[in-house]
Amino acid sequence: MIKEKLVIIKEANLANNCPECFNQDLNLSFYQKHTYDRFFHKTTAKVSNKLVCNKCKSNIYPVSWTQDIERMFNYYEKTVVPEQKSSKPTVFFYVLLLFLIALVAATIYIFLSGPIEY
């Protein structure tokens, strides 16, 4: 079963007005998607963001952004440096690989040693 996790890359507090409650306490977060399964841990290139007002706890979607919020978002978007897209094997993968190599080696050894005499 594949598990997905959004890892925070960067967080910033903005002093812009919230379009909902007009408070000046916004939090902008950038996330990178990571997937985990039995054999591999993958880091994807997908970066997402979320803008939340800390006072009214509402998500602020790009439709309701003001020009000031958009300008600050563009600035912080340029400063985000995500991890490179990668795929790393897990310990379970290496254990399974060593087991298969040992199984093949044992089969070849038994085959080459000839018939067993009683």
Residue listed under structure tokens 């080459």: 112
Q: What is the pLDDT of residue 111?
A: 86
- Residues 31, 50: Cα–Cα separation, whole Å: 8
What range does the domain containing 11 cover?
3-89
Instruction: Report the number of distinct structural domains present in the chain.
Output: 1
**Total-model pTM:** 0.75
- b or e along 88-107 (b: 16 or more beta carbons within 10 Å of the residue's beta carbon)? eeeeeeeeeeeeeeeeeeee
Q: What is the pLDDT of residue 55?
A: 86
CB-facing half-sphere around the CA of 118: CA atoms within 13 A: 0
118 residues of the chain, pLDDT tens digit each: 789 999 999 999 988 888 888 888 899 999 999 999 999 999 999 999 999 998 888 888 989 888 988 999 999 999 999 989 999 999 999 999 999 999 999 999 888 887 766 6
Task: Please check whether residue 62 lies inside any domain of the structure.
Answer: yes
Residue from 12, 5, 28, 10 nearest 81 by CA: 10
Task: Please check whether residue 94 lies inside any domain of the structure.
Answer: no
